[in-house]
Chains A and B, each alone.
Chain A
Amino acid sequence: MARITLDGIAHAYAGKPRSDKDYALKPLRHVWEQGQAYALLGPSGCGKTTLLNIISGLVIPSEGRLLFDEKDVTHLPTEQRNIAQVFQFPVIYDTMTVAQNLAFPLKNRRLAQPLIDSRVAEIAEMLGLTADLNRRARGLTADAKQKISLGRGLVRADVSAVLFDEPLTVIDPALKWELRSKLKAVHRALNLLMIYVTHDQIEALTFADKVVVMNDGRAVQIGTPAELFERPEHTFVGYFIGSPGMNLLPAQVNGSRAFVEGSEIQLGASYPVLPSGQRIQIGVRPDYATLTSGPGVAVRVRRIADLGRKRLAYLSLGQHQLVASVPPDITSIGDEARVAFDPKHTLVYADDVRVPGAAA
């Protein structure tokens, strides 16, 4: 059990970084609290696996310090860190039974046999592997193998954190839910710090208390799923999270009004004079831009997508494109329509970073 602190951790695989581009992981300061479930979310190659491997000790960071509670473990070898890690592809020891697989980390640490047996039985019970204990691990299904990988981590009583590196990639979709709820149950039962790497936003948002969104080696926002949805701090978070992502429209902002292609849009806050030379955009999620029969911004309708539970309208505003939701009371839609933006959820971005506004 521990709190993990990243103190300016950064990594460049090629050694001495000369420019910002050389970093696989740009300097990061963050505290992972004991007992919380975190998700690291980002596209492939954004540095999330690098960050995970730094925590587990498979990669030694080129800069910064890593603390478990108050102890500096930056250069401590993996096997002394009490970290459990589950990999993308299930790793099991082919020649061993399930029980021997689970006992392996304890055997390597020379624990007494009765102690090993009781720990293995306990963990097998928790993961639902008891019936398979004496079978060869090799013949089992991928999800059972992932449970064994997880079990090998949990079997150590002193484990500080469990790291998951896209653990559900090779699991059948039908079994994904089951295994994920198992992970949640384990998390609640053991009160462990868990860090879960994924590029699947649904996985991240359902698993984690807090999500770290990463892009291009940088942690662009750390927050609860609701925060990421309602207040994306970066345009990347806006369009990466949510399906479809946030609409981003180049705009001029004047006080509490924004102008897109000459159309006026009311904002929920008043903004200071934004420095010229920066790229100013307004962002609004499709959920907060609705087609309306009342007053609104005139748009051209390209097509309507009926998703069953809701309908989405793909629109053009001048030369820009946006997506809005269609309320159930609007039945006939022509080529022209009007769209209303919810001022509270219409945010302003300067060079991709959200500008906080003053209450209007």
Chain B
Amino acid sequence: MTSKPINNYAWLFVLPVLAFVMFSSIIPVMTVVNYSVQDTLGANSFFWNGDAAFRALLDPTTEIGARFNDALFRTLAFSLASLLIEVPLGIAVALCLPKKGWAVGISLVLVALPMLIPWNVVGTIWQIFTRADIGLFGAALTGIGLPYNVTQNTISAWTTIVVIDVWHWTPLVVLLSYAGLRAIPDAYYQAARIDGASRWATFTNIELPKLQKVLVIAVLLRFMQTFMIYTEPFVVTGGGPGSATTFLSIDLVKIALGQVDLGNAAAMSMVYYLITLTVCWVFYTIMTQIERRRDV
């Protein structure tokens, strides 16, 4: 064993990072923590409120608690719906993409195109696209007699938001899966052919296991992003009809900026953040544990 030399110059390399993380994450988060334990009656005067905001939030019998519960349920339902569509669809599209030749570049760029459009623009595109009077999509659906109306019909609003997210973000799953598929050596497919495996057996026994790692990343990214969805419902449905598409982020902004209820909004932010973190951590831990068990 060699003893590790202690060199104080190392601090010079670590401190800039610490300073950056302070300003980029820790100080902003602490500001929120600070607000969450205070209340205000305006005029920039704050007073100590303790954990009252958290208690109210987690108690469904209070008004704010019921509101939080509903929004949380909606957001989870939205994440689940998006993931259930985007992951299988993304894998399916990745399997269909060309494997070599000039078509690879073109199809990858075409597939990735929706991801390059900024959120606000996506919202605006779809707001116009889904209008029942002049929108191509909305007018077409009403034209064939479907009761499609984003601002009045709950099902229309929900499907529209899910379709937007699928359209916008399935490409991410496609690109990740495609990269994963390309990394499988040809010998695996050749061996499968010699072993007489069907297309489905090849998929479940070779491709899916080899995709597991990229799919964990894909599911994590998609969960975080769908759980935090804001711009699309904000621009397209405004959280309505009623509160049908009022997801946590939309509700949070309403409370914080609409009602200037900083104490409750800060408490909600903290809980929101902790839920995202916990779900991701649990999911990641389970998946890596499964992975590790396989080696034994």
Give A residues with C-beta under 8 Å from B: 53, 56-58, 77-79, 83-85, 87-89, 91, 93-96, 104-105, 108-109, 135-136, 138-139, 149, 152-153
**Distance of A155 from chain B, by nearest CB (Å):** 9
Q: Indicate with 1 or 0, residue by residue over B185-198, a CB within 8 angstroms of chain A CB atoms.
A: 10110110111111
Contact of A93 among B196, B206, B296 (CB under 8 A): B206
| A153:B194 contact, CB within 8 angstroms | yes
User: Cβ of A89: which chain B residues have Cβ within 8 Å of it?
Assistant: 185, 187
The answer to whether A79 and B295 have CB atoms under 8 Å apart is no
B205 CB contacts on chain A under 8 angstroms: 93, 95-96, 104
Given A94-B294, A108-B198, A139-B295, A79-B206 contact (CB < 8 Å): no
Q: Decide: B194 and A139 in contact? CB cutoff 8 A.
A: no
- The answer for the CA separation of A170 and B197 in the assembled complex, in Å, is 25
**B residues less than 8 Å from A93 (CB atoms):** 205-206, 209
Minimum CB–CB distance from B184 to chain A (whole Å) comes to: 10
Among candidates A105, A139, A153, residue contacting B296 with C-beta atoms closer than 8 Å: A139
Which residue of chain A has its CB nearest to the CB of B201?
A: A108
Q: Which residues of the other chain, A, contact B185 by a CB distance below 8 angstroms?
A: 89, 91
- The answer to whether A87 and B190 touch (CB under 8 A), given A93-B206, A108-B195, is yes
The 10 listed contacts between A and B (C-beta, < 8 Å) are A84-B194, A85-B194, A88-B187, A91-B190, A93-B205, A95-B205, A104-B205, A108-B196, A139-B295, A152-B195
A84 to B188, CA, bound (A): 14
What's the tally of chain B residues with a CB closer than 8 Å to chain A? 19
Which of the residues A79, A84, A109 comes within 8 Å of B193, measured between beta carbons?
A79
Residues of B within 8 A of A83 (CB): 194
**A78 surroundings in chain B (CB, below 8 A):** 190, 193-194
Check A136 against B195 for contact (C-beta < 8 Å): no
The 6 A-B pairs with the shortest beta carbon distances in the complex, nearest first, are A79-B196, A108-B196, A91-B191, A87-B187, A105-B195, A139-B295
State the majority secondary structure of interface residues on B.
helix
Q: Which residues of B contact A53 (CB under 8 A)?
A: 190
Nearest Cβ in chain B — how far from A157, in angstroms?
A: 14
Question: Within 8 Å CB of A84, what residues of B?
Answer: 194
A95 touches B209 (CB 8 A): yes
Q: How far is the CB of A24 from chain B (nearest CB, A)?
A: 16
> By the criterion CB–CB under 8 Å, are A104 and B195 in contact?
yes
The CA-CA distance from A347 to B193 in the complex, in Å, is: 47
**Proximity string of chain B (42-63) to chain A, C-beta cutoff 8 Å, 1 when within and 0 when not:** 0000000000000000000000
Q: How far is the CB of A164 from chain B (nearest CB, A)?
A: 13
CA distance A153 to B188 in the complex (A): 14
Tell whether B254 is near chain A: CB-to-CB under 8 Å.
Answer: no
Known contacts being A91-B188, A94-B210, A108-B201, is A56 close to B194, with CB within 8 Å? yes
Asked whether, in the complex, the Cβ of B191 is within 8 Å of the Cβ of A149, the reply is yes
Nearest-Cβ distance from residue B145 to partner chain A, whole angstroms: 48
CB-CB under 8 A from A79, the residues of chain B are 193-196
Pick from A136, A138, A152: contact of B191, CB under 8 Å: A152
Chain A: minimal CB distance from B97 (Å): 22
Q: Are the CB atoms of A108 and B197 closer together than 8 Å? A: yes
Beyond the given A105-B194, A136-B294, please list 16 additional residue pairs across the A-B interface where CB-CB is below 8 A.
Answer: A57-B193, A58-B193, A77-B193, A79-B193, A84-B194, A85-B191, A87-B187, A87-B191, A91-B188, A91-B190, A95-B205, A95-B294, A104-B205, A138-B295, A139-B295, A152-B191
In angstroms, Cα B198 to Cα A83, docked, is: 17
**CB proximity of B187 to chain A, nearest CB, Å:** 4
Question: Which B residues lie within 8 Å of A96 (CB)?
Answer: 205
Determine if B296 and A136 form an interchain contact, defined as CB atoms under 8 angstroms apart.
yes
Binary flags per residue of B171-190, CB closer than 8 Å to A gives 1, else 0:
00000000000000101101
Q: How far is the CA of A77 from the CA of B193 in the complex (A)?
A: 9
Contacts of B210 in A (CB 8 A): 94
Residue among B187, B205, B296 with max Cβ neighbours from chain A (10 Å): B187
Q: Which residues of B257-296 are within 8 A (CB) of A?
A: 294-296
Instruction: Determine how close the nearest CB of chain A comes to the CB of B101; give it in whole angstroms.
Output: 13
Listed residue (B190, B196, B206) with the most chain A CB atoms within 10 angstroms of its CB: B196
Closest to B197 in A: A108
Query: Which chain B residues border A109 with CB–CB below 8 Å?
Result: 196
- Complex contacts, B191 vs chain A, CB 8 Å: 85, 87, 91, 149, 152
